[in-house]
Every structure is written in structure tokens, then in C-alpha cells.
Structure 1
């Protein structure tokens, strides 16, 4: 695990043909998958799917299993976790009470350990075997707390989980990724594939 400076991340994304400026990324084609349960900001939200905490984590595990299978099929051995096209690691400015939130605590500890300050665009390179960190980033996004993306220059892909239990993939090689991702997602009956060209 090591810190990656934001300039390197931005330069690498540009080389991959992924424009991360808000207007550039919003017009790129994308694809991905989401869970059939319409979660919105997690198990303690007042809107979206009204399931239990246990069900939330079971559904999240399915989503991460699918992502893990994608990494293995693409022979991705490490990824960079960073805000990328987002301005910050977090969705909102939180106060001292929010800092007691378990997922916020976990994210802050990881950032501190890697000398990354709040609001920085730097990232952390991790091996894909470090499922705990991947799950932490996905959970933070699914619960509407964090805005981390996963980036692999090797695979020319930017992946972003969000608070609608959705995992979106941006790439310039959309047709190749579509065939692979569709094949993987089909194995998970609770996940739904989507695309926008």
C-alpha cells in the first residue's frame, strides 16, 4: 500500500483517454451494474429499499464479489483508490458527531496511515487481494459517505461505486469491457447490467 500523488493519477487518466473534468466524464459512454434492491444511502436511510443491516451487507458482498471477479478476469493485480473526478473523498463536510460514524472512522484511519489529508486528490495504490480496503471504499459510497473511485492504468478503466448501490465503469474501450462485464454480471441473479453509449 502506498500513496500516489494526484498529478500522477490525473496524467495517467489522461493517457488512458478518460477525461475526468466534470463536463468530459459526463459525456463519456459508461456501463456497470447495480443491485436489484433499490438501496439509497444504505440501511439507515429513510428512502430507497427498506432492508435490514444484515441484508445490506449481504447485498454489498455480492456487488464486491462481482467486482473482484472483474479484477481477476482483467488480470488487474493492483488499483488506485482516489477521488479522481470528485473534489473530495467525502460527500459532505461532517462535524464531530459524524466522525463517530464507523465507516467515516475507517476511511479517516486509512487516510491518516497513508498521509492523505481531507480534500486532497491523492490516492492509495493497493493490491486487489486487500479486499478490506475495497469493501471499505464500496461501503462508504453505498452509504452515501465517500466518493472514492478505483483506477487501473493497466486496464484503462475508472470504476466508481455510488449511493444507489451502483458500480459504474468508464473506459475508451467500451465494447470490449461491455462483453466481459455483461458475461460476469449474468452470473449474479441479483445484479442488473446497464450501459449508456
Structure 2
């Protein structure tokens, strides 16, 4: 649902983030049944994985208010010495978007969800997945009478730099701190155009 007056829209999305870890590191924490499944090339569920293991600490940059979120983790063996961890995140809520209404009724609006990490780029860099492409479910779009949702989806990476003020008298330290640290952001966007209705 698109709210042009308040520059936000309601949506539900499924987000997957993947990273590689040593296979032995994963194998030793699994029960025997999951170890067998993993060796057979099957995915296994990881219960409370984020409680004791590294994960990318993702957040939604343009969320408006509190989101409803469900997060779970799975793993799959991808080689003799590597396993892939996948974070599955289902979200539902409102998202801010700068909506353009300069050419009504033929405006094309970009609808974006931007995913960031609480960790800086020296610990994690988010990139669009080159093997798993994003998509939209046009059948579930509730504003179909007013808007036309396009199938094409874009994904792009950017960095946000943060600056810190130093209280040190050392100019070299202050200069170094003022360079700032960066967080990586991946923005996934689709587009919607207002439907044109002809009356006779």
C-alpha cells in the first residue's frame, strides 16, 4: 500500500543474507542427525545460532516505526572445507520513500528497502547477491487498482560514512578520527506507476 501524502508505503519482504564459514567450525556444534544431513548436501536449521556465533547484525535503514520480524538461520555444506550460513528475515511494516509527484498521473515511484549492518566495513561488507536475484509478488499487491507494480528489481551497494569529533589535542589523532568509518548498505528497489483509467 502506497501513501504518497506521507511519503511511505506498507510492504512485506523476505530477506536472505549469506556468508561462508569453515565447515569444521559448523560441524562440531551440530547433533549427529544434522551432521548426516549436512554431509548429504541438505540444509539444516540452526537453533539460536546468533546467540553464540558471528552474524552480520542487519537493520532496515528506511523502516518507519517498529517492524514485525521473524529471523531464522540455516546452513548448507558447499565444499569439503566450507559451509554457507543463511539468515532468513521476514519483515512487515512501513518504509520511508521520497515519492515524486511532478508528472501526475504518470509518475513512476521507486519503492526501496535498504539493508545495512551495525558492523563497520572493516568487519562486514554487504553486496547484492550475484547468484540469487530479487523479485516482487505482483499478485499480493493490494493497490492494483491505483498503481501498476513493475516486475523489474534493482539492487545496488553504497557506503555511509560516519564522522566523530575528537577531544584529543593531538592533531594527527583528530585528523584520523575525522576520516570517519563506513557502513555498507544494499538497497533493493522496484517501481510502481499510477494506473490510468479512461472514462467514456
TM-score band w.r.t. shorter chain? under 0.3
Higher relative contact order (CA 8 A, sep 6+): 1
Q: Give the strand-richer structure, 1 or 2.
A: 2
Higher helix fraction (1 or 2)? 1
Q: Give the alignment's TM-score, normalised by structure 2.
A: 0.26
Larger Rg belongs to: 2
Using the size of structure 1 for normalisation, the TM-score is 0.26
